[in-house]
Amino acid sequence: MLTAIQRAELESHGLASIRLKLAAYSGGHTGPGSAIGGFRCGDITRSDIDDWLIEKTAEETKQQQNTLFWARVAGWGAIISIFVALAAIAVGGWPHDWLASRF
C-alpha cells in the first residue's frame, strides 16, 4: 500500500516517466515484491507501483473516452448544422436572401 508521500512522488514523476523507470529497472525483470529504488522517498515495491499504474491508466482511459465522446458530439453538431444550413438555402430562406443581397 502506497503512503501519501510515495503517491505524491509517483504523481510528480508522471505516468510515462514511471512506466519508463519500471521497464528500465533491472531490465524490467522484477517480481511483485521487488523494491524499486531511485525515489526520494525511498524504495517502492513493484506491486505498489503496478497498482498505481493500473489506477492511473484507468483514469487516463476514462478521460480519453470522455474527450472522444465530446469530440463526437461536436462533430455531429457540425454535420447537422451543415445540413440545416443547406436545407435553408435550398428552400430559399434567410441565408439565400442574405447571400443574394451581398453578392
Confidence check: pLDDT of 94 > 80: no
Compute the average pLDDT of residues 77-100.
Answer: 78
Return all residues near 41 (Cβ < 8 A) that are at least 6 apart: 3, 5, 6, 9
Widest distance between CA atoms in the chain: 77
pLDDT of 29-80, one tens digit each? 677 788 888 899 988 999 999 999 999 999 999 999 999 999 999 999 999 9
pLDDT of residue 95: 55
| Residue 10 pLDDT | 95
Averaged pLDDT, 84-96: 73
